Amino acid sequence: MPFLAASFGSMIFLRMGKYARRKGKTIDCNSTGDNTSESLRITDDKELSEKSVNEKTRNFNYFFAGIVSLITFLVYLPCLRNEFLNWDDNIYVYENPFIRSFNTTLFKWAFLGFYASNWHPLTWISHAIDYAIWGLNPFGHHLTNVVLHTVNTFIVVLLVLKLIENYKGATRLLDDRRRLLVGGVTGFLFGLHPLHVESVAWVAERKDLLCASFFLLSIMVYAKYMSFANKEPVEKRATSGFLNKYYLFSLCFFALALLSKPMAVSLPFVLLILDWYPFNRIQSISSFRSAFIGKLPFILLSLGSSVLTILAQKEGGAMNMKLMEIVPLATRVLVAAKSLIVYLGKMILPINFIPYYPYPKDASLFSLEYLSAVVLVVGITAACVAMVKKQKLWLSVWAYYVATLIPVIGLVQVGGQSMADRYSYLPSLGPFFIAGLGMAWVSMMVYSITKKWGQSVKFVMFAATIFLSVSTVNLTVNQLSIWKNSFTLWTYVIENRPDEIPVAYNNRGLIFIEKGQLDQAKEDLDKAIALNPYYYEAYYHRGMIFMNLGQYGQALKDLDKAIGLNPLFYSAYNNRGMVLGNMGQLDKAIADFTTAISLNRTDGNAFLNRGLLFLQVGRNEIAVSDLRNACELGNDFGCKTLQYLGNKGN
């Protein structure tokens, strides 16, 4: 369907182009006062005609982008039947008490806190809006993701068409139909490539989609600003643009992108790349200096966002930063080089997607997979640089791809993944644009060959287009089914990587715990610990099983191990306090609840448990204070206990 629709759009554009290129002429007849001569003045309203053509072209571009995005929306409809996942969706949505009230408290929490080791206030607000409308019905939360992805696809088509229309460069040999084909193919690949399913089908990745929307809008408006800035003298460009409305809009959209996800920090460098090509604003050291000065407000925002992100990661317990301390920089560079190539490979051949790519245990330059990756990265870079004099396009696209991946490529490693499909959401735009240009080139070749060999070539091309389109859609729909619920997700991971990903066994074990299938849960958690003896969360969850079975000695052993591996794991203190309370060791239990609260004052369960224990030992005043805190944090049992105590007092 992608390439078929693009071809369909090209035929429409051909007809529209012929109509739009008609130029109107008017005849103005004047006669002289003495009737001795009569003159006809024929005026060609060129300016008015061009304006009319531009308006019709713009309207058709909107129409065509709408077709591309509508097909994207339809393909993603099965996603609306998916459930929440027990992988961040719980933290972001269904166990998040802060998004349940849309008031000043929400905004204060979103902007001033580092909840879940992140600072992306606009993302939190978007989840709060969804909760206000849909509650905890996953349909509405998935719908928002699908709509955002549809909008992003719409923007991508318009952005590509705008860049091609205004900055011909490598596309100067393309006629109007094939320029539309480039935009259509780029948009369809962006909208329907299975590599993007993770960003859309996972509610917690709302941040990807929201950030991309504002990131793309910032570039769109910046391109509009460039049409004005290029008219300014070079020496005035550094400062004259700061008050231009399009420049300010671009800056505002960038700020909103950063408020959605810090991955947008690469935008200032992307704009500098675009200044070099296709905007052709950077042609010397002085012009680079001028362009760089114009990016200073963007760079300052990026630095601010980066500082806040680092603070958020550290506040989250520093466990997210430990891998970077353990893994040498040389190893991180090798893993980053391999990721650059693997992402490209998955765009070209969309197979072997996995929700979790574990960090490699051994990465060496002497191994073929890493050596070949380094050689390819260096080779592609060298080839692009070598072609600069003839064509800047290749280096510009490659630089965009690398620049947008740098924040998440692993040079600054947080978490245990070496790469993730969602990280390619914005970077993929560059390679998809090249694919669009390639499709336009194939179209020209087919047209040329058809003149010599007849219509059979067109038929073969049409059949190949149908096959590729249907295959792409089928792969995307199949990938959506993997994200249907937590069980399908983790079972898929385990079946494909049975001895590599302990988090898959841990999270599937949680599903078994929820279903009351404790034997299966323990089996999965045992496997997770066998794969990673330092996996503190697996010990914690296995301790929960033992606690539910009344085996408090075993539970205490696992919870001690979890706390020993991560002394900042507040939930483990809370559960160990419950175990100690059941064992009659009340003072130690209260101490654990107090530690849990000191580590995370947003945990209503710790306040509730300590409050109930204080009630048990007769310290009612402190107990009521704890129960009130639990109630304010959204703990329903805390509210009911307070109400019961109030009624009892009356």
Number of neighbouring beta carbons within 10 Å of residue 577? 26
Amino acid sitting at position 29: C
As a whole number of angstroms, the distance between CA 400 and CA 39 comes to 59
Mean pLDDT of 170-192: 82
Distance of alpha carbon 472 from alpha carbon 302, whole angstroms = 36
Q: Which two tokens stand for residue 339?
A: 């990721």
**pLDDT at res. 97:** 86
For tokens 């407000």, the residue is 297
Q: What is the C-alpha R_g of the chain?
A: 30
What pLDDT is stored for residue 441 in this prediction?
Answer: 86
Residue of 357, 352, 345 whose CA lies nearest to 410: 357
- Per the CATH hierarchy, to which homologous superfamily does domain 585-650 belong? Tetratricopeptide repeat domain (1.25.40.10)
Could you tell me which residues are beta bridge partners of residue 392?
A: none
Q: Which helix (H) or strand (E) element contains residue 27?
A: strand 25-31
Query: Rounded to whole angstroms, how far apart are CA atoms 70 and 93?
Result: 28
- pLDDT reading at 172 higher than 70: no
Give pTM, 2 decimals.
0.87
User: Is the pLDDT reported for residue 31 higher than 90?
Assistant: no
Phi-psi region of 361 (alpha: psi -120 to 50; beta: other; left: phi over 0): alpha
The arithmetic mean of pLDDT across residues 257-269, rounded, is: 96
pLDDT at 350 over 70: yes
Contacts of 118 (CB under 8 A, 6+ apart): 309, 312, 316
Amino acid 535: pLDDT: 93
Q: At what angle do helices 368-386 and 329-348 cross, to 10 degrees?
A: 70
pLDDT band at residue 5, thresholds of 50, 70 and 90?
Answer: very low
pLDDT in tens, 502-560: 999 999 999 999 999 999 999 999 999 999 999 999 999 999 999 999 999 999 999 99
Which range is least confidently modeled, 44-53, 142-151, 297-306, 435-444?
Answer: 44-53
Token couple for 17: 């182009």
pLDDT digits (tens, 9 = 90+) for 42-101: 445 555 566 666 778 788 889 999 999 999 999 999 999 999 999 999 999 999 989 998
pLDDT tens for each residue of 270-316? 999 999 999 988 988 988 998 999 999 999 999 999 999 888 887 76
pLDDT at 240 over 70: no
Q: Which residue type is seen at 149?
A: H
**What is the chain's mean pLDDT, rounded?**
86
Helix (H) or strand (E) holding 43: strand 38-44
Determine how β-strand 38-44 pairs with β-strand 357-358.
unpaired
Domain segments of the chain as ranges: 8-48, 49-453, 585-650
